[in-house]
Amino acid sequence: MKAVGLVAEYNPLHNGHLYHLKMAKQITKADVTVAVMSGNFTQRAEPTILDKWQRTKEALSVGVDLVVELPMQYAVQPAHLFASGALSLLDSLQIDDFVFGAEHPDWDFNSLVQAENKFESTDFSKYNATYATAFNNQLIEHTGISLTEPNDILAFGYTKAKLKSKLSVNLHPVKRVGSAYHDEKIDDTSSISSASAIRKAVKNGSAGFESLVPEQTAVDLKELKDVNDWNDLYPLLRYQLIQAPLNYLAQTYQMSEGLEHRLKQAAQRASDFDAFMRLAKSKRYTYSRIQRVCLYALLQISDEQMQIKNKQLYLRILGFNHLGQEYLHQIKKTVKIPIITKVDQKSRDGQLQLDYRAGKLYEQLSGVEQDMRRRPIIV
């Protein structure tokens, strides 16, 4: 069986994702579609609007054949690490083709990656700007292209990961359609709106989002009692930042250059998350970077733990249909990494430790068990 791979958060799954799925099958003529999906926290370290089991069920209902979880140590990361982890999983799954969205699919991403070799060495600590800004300035200087759109940035990351690891998977960028990634207003003239706009409509109790998502997604969103966000997690984060000693916070993954001082001071002064972020933000740190560090601190993930986990690749199966099951049976004897279909004490305290901890944190919001006693969804 020939397989095509997708990487997604499905937060929530919407009509743009259906277009992506349709194009993937049309371009590759694949027999089976495999989605590598983030768990309960996004790349920007935000809790997903629906849990990973609901989103798995929705993906299977629209034609995805196999859903695999992107481990926490890759899912909540800057674009290049997110892309590297996702592509490594697709390679382990023996995927022939990978189809992904991009704002500019006609760009030569190979050339953009190769241009990085010409960059001057940059000491980030000497500049009062984010690394992304410094990187993009050099890219513009060498290629004339500004890499600022989120899907283009991921496309760059996928290309870089393939070239660096010499992977054989074929990359197929397709044009992202509909409203822009960050648009927060429903587009009344289109059947495709951004996930951000749909989440905002659901949170505000606005009507009209139902036509923008598949039937199962609409059902799940209508049943939501509340849309959880960082404001719901902030009391836990604030307690952690205030109570933990500075030398302990300094060991948190990506907590560098004295950022622990800034976060502790912000937590002591701010009574809500939005105020906390305004106090913590600076020209050197993006909101996404700060949110990720906050999640790492809340989960008590250290640099040492993350270094260990980044070397542990595994396939956590979230769901499949008969085609997905057949594909798993086809590859299972040649897959070189563990395939996990249930969480036991050994995996909970070992390979899945970060996923389990993230799941327990998400349970504080949803009240629904995320890992123990959960088995893949079969349709």
For 72-95, the pLDDT digits (tens) are 999 999 999 999 999 999 999 999
* Amino acid at residue number 212: L
- In contact, 37 and 9? CB cutoff 8 Å: yes
Q: Which DSSP category does 171 fall into?
A: E
Q: What is the pLDDT of residues 169-182, one digit of tens each?
A: 999 999 988 766 56
List CB contacts of 26: < 8 A, sequence separation 6 or more. Answer: none
Q: Residue 29, Cβ neighbours under 10 Å: how many?
A: 9
* Residue 16 and residue 59 in one domain: yes
Averaged pLDDT for residues 134-158 = 93
pLDDT at 13 over 80: yes
* Residue 166 and residue 220 in one domain: yes
Q: What is the pLDDT of residues 312-359, one digit of tens each?
A: 899 999 999 999 999 999 999 999 999 999 999 999 999 999 999 999
Q: How far is CA 72 from the centre of its chain?
A: 9
Side-chain-facing half-sphere of 293: CA atoms under 13 Å: 25
Strands in 268-369 per DSSP E: 315-320, 339-340
The boundaries of the domain holding residue 293 are 230-307
Mean pLDDT of the chain: 93
15 annotated binding-site participant = yes
Where residue 41 falls (left for φ over 0; alpha for ψ -120 to 50; beta otherwise) is: beta
pLDDT at 257 over 60: yes
Write down the pLDDT at residue 134. Answer: 84
234 annotated binding-site participant = no
* Residue 193 and residue 95 in one domain: yes
12 annotated binding-site participant = yes
- In contact, 253 and 296? CB cutoff 8 Å: yes
* Residue 167 and residue 86 in one domain: yes
Of the given ranges (74-88, 200-214, 250-264), which has the lowest mean pLDDT?
A: 200-214
pLDDT at 234 over 70: yes
Helix runs in 208-286, H state only: 215-222, 230-243, 246-249, 259-269, 273-280
Write down the pLDDT at residue 131. Answer: 78
Write down the pLDDT at residue 132. Answer: 82
pLDDT at 309 over 90: no
- In contact, 135 and 148? CB cutoff 8 Å: no
pLDDT band at 196 (very low <50, low <70, confident <90, very high): very high
176 annotated binding-site participant = yes
Which of 249, 284, 307 is the endpoint of a domain? 307
pLDDT at 249 over 80: yes
pLDDT at 193 over 80: yes
**DSSP string of 84-131, one letter each residue:** HHHHHHHHHTT-SEEEEEES-TTS-HHHHHHHGGGPPP--GGGSSS-H
Euclidean distance between CA atoms 171 and 157, whole angstroms: 12
Averaged pLDDT for residues 27-39 = 98
Which of 257, 283, 307 is the endpoint of a domain? 307
80 annotated binding-site participant = no
Euclidean distance between CA atoms 324 and 19, whole angstroms: 20
pLDDT at 122 over 80: no
* Residue 274 and residue 329 in one domain: no
Averaged pLDDT for residues 148-169 = 96
Which of 275, 307, 339 is the endpoint of a domain? 307
pLDDT band at 360 (very low <50, low <70, confident <90, very high): very high
14 annotated binding-site participant = yes
Helix (H) or strand (E) segment spanning residue 4:
strand 3-8
* Residue 75 and residue 137 in one domain: no
Averaged pLDDT for residues 105-121 = 91
Write down the pLDDT at residue 117. Answer: 84
* Residue 96 and residue 73 in one domain: yes
Write down the pLDDT at residue 178. Answer: 72
* Residue 245 and residue 273 in one domain: yes
Q: Which of 173, 141, 195 is nearest to 6 (CA)?
A: 173
Write down the pLDDT at residue 370. Answer: 97
pLDDT band at 301 (very low <50, low <70, confident <90, very high): very high
| 309-to-22, 297, 313 alpha-carbon distances in Å | 34, 16, 8
Phi and psi dihedrals of 2, rounded to 5?
-90, 135
Q: Which residue has the tokens 């979230």?
A: 318
* Residue 16 and residue 94 in one domain: yes
* Residue 172 and residue 236 in one domain: no
Euclidean distance between CA atoms 264 and 250, whole angstroms: 11
Q: Which CATH number do you get for residue 34?
A: 3.40.50.620
Averaged pLDDT for residues 128-132 = 74
* Residue 268 and residue 318 in one domain: no
Q: Which of 343, 329, 270, 301 is nearest to 72 (CA)?
A: 301
Task: Report percent pLDDT > 70 for the chain.
Answer: 96
* Residue 91 and residue 237 in one domain: no
Report residue 41 as tokens.
């926290």
Where residue 208 falls (left for φ over 0; alpha for ψ -120 to 50; beta otherwise) is: left
For the chain, how many structural domains are there in total?
3
Write down the pLDDT at residue 127. Answer: 53
pLDDT band at 126 (very low <50, low <70, confident <90, very high): low
Helix (H) or strand (E) segment spanning residue 70:
strand 66-70
13 annotated binding-site participant = yes
Averaged pLDDT for residues 365-372 = 96
Task: Report percent pLDDT > 90 for the chain.
Answer: 84
